[in-house]
Amino acid sequence: MRVKVRLFAQLRDVTQAADVDCTVDAPATVRDVWQTLVRQHPALAAFSSSLSSAVNLAYVRMDAAVHEGDEVAFLPPVSGG
Amino acid sequence: MTAAPLDLSGLVQLVTDAHAARAAATGAAGVGAIASFLGTVRNVNRGRAVVSLDYEAYDALALKVFEQIADEVAREWPDAILGLHHRTGRLAVGEASVAIAAASPHRGAAFAACRYAIERVKQVAPIWKREQLADGECWVEGATVDPADERARQEALRLACV
């Protein structure tokens, strides 16, 4: 199945793209999507321990399920304000 | 979320009007205090000269997070109404990146709600800044977001009530 992935800040700098489509085997979790991305962009691995994630505009844990067509976002440490 | 310069007096008017409308509808006490906060771009960070900051956000999620922060404020200080605006794009030194206003019948809740809101923005809002320095550029890394982390929320509450 395919999900739409959104990447921000340093993560986008690594992939050179803010939006990427990602194909994973169902059933899949957010972590599966991340690991697929890391295989495509090994430099992302450095962010694995300080990552947050969201599915369809809600923060979720990495073990949350993803479904066909979901918007999955990966967020490095935030620095708003 | 906006790329345009922030308008603190407009935000103050928004929360004032919203509070007045609610007070009129419920018969509760009206506005007696408005606290406001502006976060601005500082000219130095960790000893390095800052030229400007580039802010980016996951806008749609940021708006939901701002609603969540306003809901948290409503639970802690039911008499207060919160307004929260954040800017994106390139900001020069001295420009405002975040504007917060809280209206309440009494000053204690207004000050506390304002402080609580900026602490929560820094903990959970999906917003990032990159420093443009005199000698390069650098992403600023703050908190790893864990919105279910009750300890972080309690820390924001503690800072709000000192």
Query: B40-57, pLDDT tens digit by residue?
Result: 999 999 899 999 999 999
Return the pLDDT at B70.
Answer: 98
Q: What's the one-letter identity of residue B72? A: E
The burial of B8, by beta-carbon neighbours within 10 Å (0-12 exposed, 13-18 middle, 19 or more buried), is given as: middle
Q: What is the model's pTM?
A: 0.95
Return the pLDDT at A13.
Answer: 96
Domains defined for chain A, CATH in brackets:
2-75 (3.10.20.30)
**B118, closest residue in chain A (CA to CA):** A81
d(CA A56, CA A3): 11
Domains defined for chain B, CATH in brackets:
8-160 (3.90.1170.40)
Chain B contact present for A10, CB below 8 A:
yes
Query: Which pLDDT band holds residue A43 (cuts at 50, 70, 90)?
Result: very high
Chain B contact present for A8, CB below 8 A:
yes
pLDDT in tens, B84-110: 999 999 999 999 999 999 999 999 999
Query: Which pLDDT band holds residue B162 (cuts at 50, 70, 90)?
Result: confident
Q: Which residues of A touch B146 (CB under 8 A)?
A: 52, 59
User: Is residue A59 within 8 Å of B68, Cβ to Cβ?
Assistant: no
d(CA A53, CA B74): 26
Restricting to B residues 116-155, those with a Cβ less than 8 Å away from any Cβ of A are 118, 121-130, 139-148
Q: Does the pLDDT at position A2 exceed 90?
A: yes
Query: Which pLDDT band holds residue B38 (cuts at 50, 70, 90)?
Result: very high
The encoded tokens of residue B144 equal: 């790893």
Asked if A59 lies within 8 A of B147 by C-beta distance, the reply is yes
Asked if A8 lies within 8 A of B58 by C-beta distance, the reply is yes
Asked if A81 lies within 8 A of B97 by C-beta distance, the reply is yes
**How close is the nearest chain B Cα to the Cα of A55, in Å?**
10
**B129, closest residue in chain A (CA to CA):** A79
Asked if B128 lies within 8 A of A76 by C-beta distance, the reply is yes
